[in-house]
């Protein structure tokens, strides 16, 4: 896509609401500051961007991540022995649940969740294992004025122990846990102002949001259930089909994602880095 901001990269939108594929970039090379600026601009414009055919080593993935921000640790699972910031996200043929296999934003149960995730496909099934992404700006913008005014005044309690999310990472945590049994809880505004774009984003998610601080769980439940359905309407989303060497960079402040669990009997190996 031709845009006055893009002189060094090509940007092809993936849907009308979110996502774009970036071409003409080798993320393993030493990229100029101008190229990094264009990548960041595309990322802020499209919320999630994808690179194909990135045959890069963990140290190169880390070096690219550090050009975009500060690399931060994932609290639940250990990383690679030589590169602890690079967390392997694996589903084996014998496993039924996939890691993080539900709609969520990453680790919103932390006081300071990462601003971005960088995910590289190392091994993918022959078909299946796509990831859906959803635009939380649109989720907020399309609420009625009454619902907007209600949720803007609320604080959402986020927990690492919500059952569906905890089950999705159970095997990986058992095999490679940092700490056993630790429950993390944080409170965040239900609507967040993005510090770089100035736009409002809905900040509740099915994976981690438990209740509103100002309400009981029973009072919170019908509102949260409505928001969980609303925020992932098809017109707010895109779907990315992974190939080996594909890499995604998403803005964790204004998106959610859902890795599809439709490839039983096959291995899927991804390398994830959190950026703060």
Question: Would 3 be classed as within a structural domain?
Answer: no
245 assigned to some structural domain:
yes
Catalytic residue, from 172, 208, 211, 257: name it. Answer: 257
Q: Which tokens go with 275?
A: 């950026």
- Residue 274 lies inside a defined structural domain of this protein: no
For residue 201, tell me if it sits in a domain: yes
pLDDT the model gives residue 182: 82
Per-residue confidence (pLDDT) for residue 14, from 0 to 100: 97
- Please tell me which residue in 46, 106, 211, 253 is annotated as part of the active site: 106
How many domains, in total, are found in the chain? 1
Residue 236 lies in domain: 10-259
So what's the pLDDT on residue 1?
45
Is 46 an annotated catalytic residue? no
CA atoms of 138 and 193, how far apart (whole Å) = 13
Torsions phi, psi of 189, nearest 5? -60, 140
Tokens of 117: 């995730």
199 is catalytic: no
Residue 81 maps to a domain:
yes
Output the pLDDT for position 76: 78
State both tokens at 79: 């990383």
- The CATH number of the domain where 17 resides is what? 3.60.130.10
- The model carries a pTM of 0.93
The dihedrals phi and psi of 46, each to the nearest 5 degrees, come to -110, -5
Domain assignment present for 1? no
Pseudo-torsion of CA 89, 66, 190, 259, nearest 10°?
-20
In-domain check, residue 252: yes
Inside any domain, residue 272:
no
State the pLDDT at residue 172. Answer: 46
Block mean pLDDT (10 aa), the chain, length 276: 77 98 97 97 98 98 98 90 96 91 96 98 97 98 98 97 68 53 92 98 98 97 98 98 98 98 96 97
First-to-last alpha carbon distance for the chain, in angstroms, is: 29
């Amino acid at each position: 896509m031709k845009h006055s901001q893009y002189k060094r990269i090509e940007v092809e939108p993936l849907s009308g609401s979110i996502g774009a594929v970036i071409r003409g970039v080798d993320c393993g090379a030493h990229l100029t500051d101008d190229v990094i600026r264009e990548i960041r601009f595309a990322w802020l414009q499209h919320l999630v961007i994808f690179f194909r055919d990135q045959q890069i080593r963990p140290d190169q993935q880390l070096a690219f991540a550090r050009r975009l921000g500060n690399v931060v640790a994932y609290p639940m699972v250990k990383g690679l022995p030589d590169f602890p910031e690079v967390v392997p996200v694996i589903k084996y043929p014998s496993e039924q649940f996939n890691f993080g296999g539900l709609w969520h934003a990453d680790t919103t149960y932390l006081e300071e969740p990462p601003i971005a995730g960088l995910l590289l496909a190392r091994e993918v099934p022959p078909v299946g294992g796509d990831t859906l992404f959803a635009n939380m700006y649109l989720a907020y913008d399309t609420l009625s004025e009454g619902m907007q005014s209600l949720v803007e005044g609320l604080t959402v309690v986020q927990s690492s122990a919500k059952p569906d999310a905890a089950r999705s990472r159970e095997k990986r945590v058992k095999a490679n846990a940092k700490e056993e049994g630790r429950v993390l809880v944080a409170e965040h505004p239900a609507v967040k102002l993005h510090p770089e774009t100035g736009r409002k984003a809905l900040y509740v998610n099915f994976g981690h949001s438990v209740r509103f601080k100002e309400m009981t769980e029973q009072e919170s439940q019908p509102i949260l259930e409505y928001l969980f359905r609303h925020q992932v309407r098809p017109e707010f989303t895109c779907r990315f089909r992974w190939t080996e060497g594909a890499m995604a960079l998403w803005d964790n402040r204004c998106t959610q994602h859902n890795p599809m669990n439709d490839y039983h009997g096959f291995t899927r190996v991804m390398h994830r880095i959190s950026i703060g």
